[in-house]
Amino acid sequence: MSKLSALDRNRCIERLKQIEYDLLVIGGGITGAGIALDAAARGLKTALIERNDFASGTSSRSTKLIHGGLRYLKQFEIALVREVGRERAILHKNAPHLVPSERMLLPLVKDGSFGKFLTSLGLMVYDVLAGVESADQRKMLSKEETLEKEPLLDESVLEGGGIYAEYRTDDARLTIEVIKTAVQYGADCFNYISADDFIYENERVAGVQAKDQLARKTFTLKAKSVINAAGPWVDDLREKNHSLSGKHLHLTKGVHIVLPRAKFPLKQAIYFDVADGRMIFAIPRGLITYIGTTDTDYHGDKNRILTYKADVNYLLEATNNAFPSLKLTMDQVVSSWAGVRPLIHEQGKSASEISRKDEIFESDTGLLSIAGGKLTGFRKMAERIVDIVAKKHVDNYPDADISSCTTDKIPLTGGVFSGAKEVKVFKSSLVKRVQQYGFNEYIAFYLVSNYGKQSDTILSIFDGLNDKDIHQRFVKAECEFCIQQEMVFNLRDFFIRRTGRLYFDIDSVRTLKKVIADHMKAKFKWSEKRKEEELNLLDQEIWDVSTFEDV
């Protein structure tokens, strides 16, 4: 049985209680996941705990791009552009199905952010700094060529365009695959366990008082080093450690809205100007097109971040300005997501101006905290903080066999492909296979981009089921895989974080939720009451992403 099987949790938790770990990571977003993988691969005995589901914080609410950081160039953050450029190339190599390239169109309009010359120069510098391969390098386009790429653009103000290299991903799937890979290297990773307080020995942090949120039991978890990777909650834990002084977090909210592809039939991902001087993305993905993001200071509830009418209006107005023939309206928006960026506060800077750089803080009692940064830079962030932990460990235990960072060479689970070409071949073979079952091509795209090579396992589970309706049979196979290998405990884990269906195919959540609720009821031996409660919690999430109220 996989160490990430939801059916083996209690036994695994008993083991967790017995061990003194070299490193305990608090937080199962991309930052914590990356740290757990790096540390485990170096030979440190590592545990990770996440108080909710993996990626339930900011790491399921990003723009889902692995950026080269074009906007950082505008802010002259040259080192950051260089680093994230290198990082995305590594990520693409280690998970080409999950981090495919996505050519981004930058339309040039009358009185826009940049003229043709500056854009061409900027994109050229970006290519050099981000180390973009020659085939992917920027190309400047005439007005006609730009319109050919994207006929929906406003011809009356368009002057031309540039096309440059970006990569897209699914942030929550990236997080779960990094966690699964960490587990393969020996880490013990758990969702639904919170760090409620720290324990100390000789005035040094020596572990945490943990709580199993499913069994509602508290226990002590011991570790030689502890890293606080709690994203927007980093300062809450620093406060518990009595070390919240000096630099602190500045949370800014970002919203994305989702429209059916038929309503916004964008041919091509695009990064375009907003009248207030900002820029936003519109990205076609499977059945939908999503638009984002906003960037506003946030002081509300971090556990329930909502999309308000004003957020939707801002994004629709910007989009209708750039694509006037669309005339998009709020009732066409089928889903959305909202998240907060855990940035490091900089005096006098507005939400959009604050640097996205990461920083590490060490408290007097030895608690290491990490905040800021991007999804894209998670591997390098992990390397920097695990370097500190590994050095300390070797200083204290000179015989310990701890290697240096190797994560640049570790393929993520599901991503054992030689490159993008092999992904394409694999996808073509899947298209034929799913068509034989009666599915259309979309299911092959969905399987490959979510699960990579693991699609084979899901289809073999599918082969073993005998439901008449192929869509119900498929979603049950998928759910079974996620229960057995990805610690899915409820409908929200499955429909939001593991499959992204709440955002990318919300209708399928409405039609399939009861099938999955019955499947989970049987699997987890839920009572009828528990099943209804889980359905209500999912309905609340559907309401939150698709109903937009005034603030």
- Using alpha carbons, select from 163, 155, 86, 68 the residue that is nearest to residue 120: 163
Nearest CB to ligand FAD, comparing residues 83 and 480: 83
Say whether residue 254 binds ligand FAD (CB under 6 A). Answer: yes
CB 49 within 8 A of CB 190: yes
Q: Does 61 bind ligand FAD (CB under 6 A)?
A: yes
Nearer to ligand FAD, 17 or 421 (CB): 17
Determine the Cα–Cα distance for residues 107 and 151; give it in Å rounded to an integer.
12
Question: How far is the first Cα of the chain from the last one, in angstroms, to the nearest whole number?
Answer: 47
**CB-nearer residue toward ligand FAD: 24 or 461:** 24
Beta bridge partners of residue 256, listed in sequence order: 292, 337
Q: Which two tokens stand for residue 91?
A: 């990520």
Q: How far apart are CA 151 and CA 148, in angstroms?
A: 6
Q: Please, is 395 exposed, middle or buried when counting C-beta atoms within 10 Å of its C-beta (0-12, 13-18, 19+)?
A: exposed
Identify the residue whose tokens are 């590594």: 90
138 binds ligand FAD (CB under 6 A): no
Q: Is 414 in the site for ligand FAD (CB under 6 A)?
A: no
E strand or H helix at 447: helix 441-451
**Stretch of 44-52, 320-328, 429-437, 515-523 lying at the interface with ligand FAD (CB under 6 A):** 44-52
Supply the minimum distance, in Å, between the C-beta of residue 230 and ligand FAD.
4
Contacts with ligand FAD, 2-21, as mask; x by CB under 6 A: --------------------
- Contact map string, positions 319 to 358, toward ligand FAD, x by CB under 6 A: --------------------xxxx----------------
Nearer to ligand FAD, 101 or 194 (CB): 194
Strand, coil or helix: 543: helix
- Quick count: other Cβ atoms within 10 Å of Cβ 367? 23
Which of 56, 63, 61, 178 lies closest to 492 in space, CA to CA? 56
Which is closer to ligand FAD, CB of 57 or CB of 107?
Answer: 57
Residues 6+ apart with CB under 8 A from 245: none
The residue (of 343 and 517) whose beta carbon lies closer to ligand FAD is 343
Q: Site mask, ligand FAD, residues 194-213, x = CB under 6 A?
A: xx------------------
231 binds ligand FAD (CB under 6 A): yes
Compute the least distance from the CB of residue 191 to ligand FAD, in Å. Answer: 9
Task: State the Cα–Cα distance between residues 154 and 356, nearest whole angstrom.
Answer: 32
Closest to ligand FAD by CB, 28 vs 207, is 28
Min dist. Cβ of residue 309 to ligand FAD (A):
18
- Tokens (6 digits) for 434: 């799913």
Q: Which chain residues interact with ligand FAD by CB under 6 A?
A: 26-32, 49-52, 56-59, 61-65, 67, 194-195, 229-233, 237, 254, 293, 339-342, 373-376
